[in-house]
Every structure is written in C-alpha cells, then in structure tokens.
Amino acid sequence: MPTQSSHSDPIDAHIAQQFYIDGRWSPPARAATLPVVNPATEEVVAQVARGSAEDVDRAVAAARAALPGWAACPPVARAQVLDKIHALILERKEQFAQALTLEMGAAINFARNMQVPLAAEHVRVARDVLTSYRFQTVERGTAIEREPVGVCGLITPWNWPLYQITAKVAPAIAAGCTVVLKPSELSPLSALLFAQLIHDSGVPPGVFNLVNGSGADVGAAMAAHPDIDMISITGSNRAGALVAQAAAPTVKRVTQELGGKSPNVLLPDADFAKAVPPGVMSAFRNVGQSCSAPTRMIVPRDRLSEVEALAAATANSIIVGDPRAEETVLGPIANLAQFERVQAMIEAGLNEGAKLVCGGPGRVPGFEKGFYTRPTVFSEVASGMRIAQEEIFGPVLCIIAYDTLDEAIAIANDTVYGLGAHVQAQDLQLARAVASRIRAGQVHLNYPAWDPMAPFGGYKRSGNGREYGVQGFEEYLETKAIIGFGQR
C-alpha cells in the first residue's frame, strides 16, 4: 500500500460559501454554488459560492475606496506587509499543499516542494523589487514618475493555482495597486486559504478582494467594469480573447499570459543521455499542465532511435497514482474536461500517423476512478500535425526530427505560440546563437535553475505583457512625465 500523507479538510465550509471583500468574509448577493471535484476520486469535495456582477461591483467599490490610501502608503510599509505574507505562506505550506492536492490533483510532494515554495518566491521577489525600485527619476529637467495603475482585476487558472495568484497579487499590491481576484472555479480552495492569509497578514481592508465564480459570470463582469483600470489574465487563448474584447470599450490595460507549445531543441553536440530524460520530465511536470512545458523535442534525425529509447525509459519509470502518496510523481489530470481533451489529442496523434513510443490512450491500469493519464511519447511527428501545433496540456511529448540547424530553428518557430523554449548543447556560443533566433519570451539553455527575477511572457498568441521580476512589477505602474520639474 502507498504511504499516504495525513489529510484533513483544508478549508472551513462556511468560508467556502463566502467572498473576501473589504477586509471581511461576506455572503454572495445570490445564493448559488459551484462544485469542487477531486480529480483523483471524481467526488465533489466542496461547494464554493458562485459570484455575480453584483459581487464584482461590491469588490471593485471596496478596491476603489482603498486605492488612495494604499497608493500613498510608503514603500517600506508595503514591503513589511509582503514580508508577512511571504512568511505566512511558508508557515502554512502543508495546508496549502493539501488543498492543491485535493482540488487539482498535484502530487503531494510536488505541491510541497514546487507549487507552494515557488509561489512564496513571487512574494519575496516583489518585496525585493519594491525596496530598491526608483519611483522617480529626473532626466534633462523632466521628472519621470511611476505610479500605481489603479484597481486591478486578476484572473488566474487552475493548473498552478497559488503560484499564479502570487505572481499577480504580489507585484500589484507592491506597486500600490488594489486588486480583485477571480481564481479558477475549478481550483478555488487554495485561493480561499490565501485570502485568509491576506487578512491575517494585516493588509488593509479593500486592498485585496476575492470573488469566486465562472468566467462568464465574474470574469466578464470584471473585464467590462469601468472602475477596473487593468486586467491581468492567465488562461486559455479563448479566455484571453474574450477578456480583451470585453475590456476594449473601457480601454483598460490588458495583460495576457496564454497558451504555449514550447520547443526543446537538442543540438548535435548535446549529451543526449543527460539531455533527454530531464527534457521528458520538464514536459511532464505538473502532469504536463504548464503553459511553458517543452512538449516538442526537436532532435537530429540520425539520433532519433536513441532519443526514442531514452524518452521511453524515462516516461515508463514515472510513478503515476494517488496524489496523496509520497512516492507519486504524477497525479491525475486536474479536471474531466481536460482529461477528455488529452485523450482526444492522443487519439489524434495516432490517427495522423505519429509513431507511439510509449503510453497511449485510456486510463492508467488499476485506476477505474480518477482522471489518470498514461505518460505518452510520440515520435516521427511532422510539424504540421495537430499534436505538434495544438496545446495538449497533458503528459504528451512529441519528438520531431531535423536534418539541418536552420530546419531545427524553423520547426521551433513553426507555431502560433511563443512562450518558452529550451536549447541543449555543449557549445554555449552556438546555443546562445540558436536562442536568439527562437521567437519566445523565455529560452532556457541546458536546463538552468529557475530564475524568479527573469521576466515571463509570450510572443505571438502566447499573450502580451510580462510577469516576474522588475518587468512584471512595472506592468502595474503608469508613467507620468513632469516637464519643467528641474526649474530653479
């Protein structure tokens, strides 16, 4: 039997049925709920309040009222609040990890070691940027001032729930903005825990507000709201386009972190025994449910059989199972709709004639319940195939062969997306040259350590704007020029 972590209900039922608005928990305007399904058991584990436009109005009014005071709060005081938030996330790591495992199926050790600590890092980085940032500079007698953009509507996804919340909330409130958060209705429990943490950290009323609900009910109301100055969304291309359309009449700022189909280019001089296994694991991290996952492995044609063997050995060694088990590497797909999408795309790969190296359609043997998917590797994939062009968002890797370096780069860029990319090589000068030719917002050379200060965002249909570090912080600032400032 697998060793299981201890588990208790991660959140009180009465909090789940409320929103956090103006510094307190309050009931929704209408009595309606949304179910939260545990993807490991397919059972409903909670009911959360379903918000409406009226709830958005209340949250926006609270954020608008709190804006002048918070924007005027000295940076050192805002930094102290961020310090407290950071400390409380780490203090409550186990509670957050249990909630993530329950709501979206993250393997418990992945939740403990990646999902929660990396979320805390966004808060630390926002604090560090804030403490050293120059909000006013003077050039040629003109003062350039950076001021909070205002009330920000933040829409976050289900795949990295807490991580994406802190990636937006931390720089927004560090910059002096106030926020209304709409987490994904599919994984809202960690967001409710975060709202309670915000309350306990001493954030003034109205600075942070949370309204749960669907995109159609709450997200659309936020995007169209005249008193929201900025929308930041991480989600699908469809959701990003709908938000941009709804936001257009009020000409608010919109930043979008959307889909990806990231390439991993293995150059001929790479050490394939060292490059292929971490490439597979990077593609399958979080059960492949990462927008920047390098799901297209682009390799020299004469090394194809070697890559297939290495990839299959790695994929077949992955332990898929109960996300509460300490030894589990990959839990289930996070929800039914995504499970069905992944299954359909695996079938599409077979129908298009790709070579199935390992995995394939169907549930993982031994699991009749739960959205468990077999880690799947395709080879002999043509760049025009659906599995090479469409974001699958599951543990599915496509191996694509090339004959020349120019062809490898062309394949890497043969996508409507441009979020992330990887290059593996022993010749660093060549790796850097290839990286400069790939149209993506981030390029990783030889699997470097994660840099939380590095700006993250996409080219093309992967979105616009940046998150993380200084550039992510500046998304929440307006620029004002005061000409004649230097007169005597």
Structure tokens at 16: 């789940």
Structure tokens at 461: 């249909």
**Burial track 122-140 (b if 16+ CB lie within 10 A, e otherwise):** bbbbbbbbbeeeeeeeeee
At 248, which amino acid appears?
A
352 is catalytic: no
Strand 33-38 to 43-49 pairing: antiparallel
Helix-strand-coil split of the chain, %, nearest 5: 40, 20, 35
Distance CA 195, CA 386 (A): 40
Structure tokens at 206: 């109205």
Candidates 257, 467, 474, 475; catalytic one: 257
- Long-range contacts for 124-128 (Cβ within 8 Å, ≥24 apart)? 124/82, 124/86, 124/452, 125/170, 125/452, 125/453, 125/468, 125/469, 126/82, 126/170, 126/171, 126/173, 126/174, 126/473, 127/79, 127/82, 127/83, 127/86, 127/170, 127/174
Distance CA 179, CA 60 (A): 8
End-to-end CA distance of the chain: 79
Structure tokens at 339: 């499970």
Query: Strand order in 355-358's β-sheet?
Result: 355-358, 376-379, 396-402, 296-300, 263-266, 420-424, 442-445
Residue that the structure tokens 């860029």 belong to: 413
Q: How many CB atoms within 10 Å of residue 335? A: 22
Residue that the structure tokens 């600032």 belong to: 477
Nearest to 280 by CA among 358, 185, 187, 370: 358
Candidates 152, 291, 358, 398; catalytic one: 291
291 is catalytic: yes
Residues in the chain: 488
Distance CA 188, CA 213 (A): 9
Q: How many CB atoms within 10 Å of residue 362? A: 11
Bridge partner residues of 142 (DSSP): 139
Catalytic positions: 257, 291
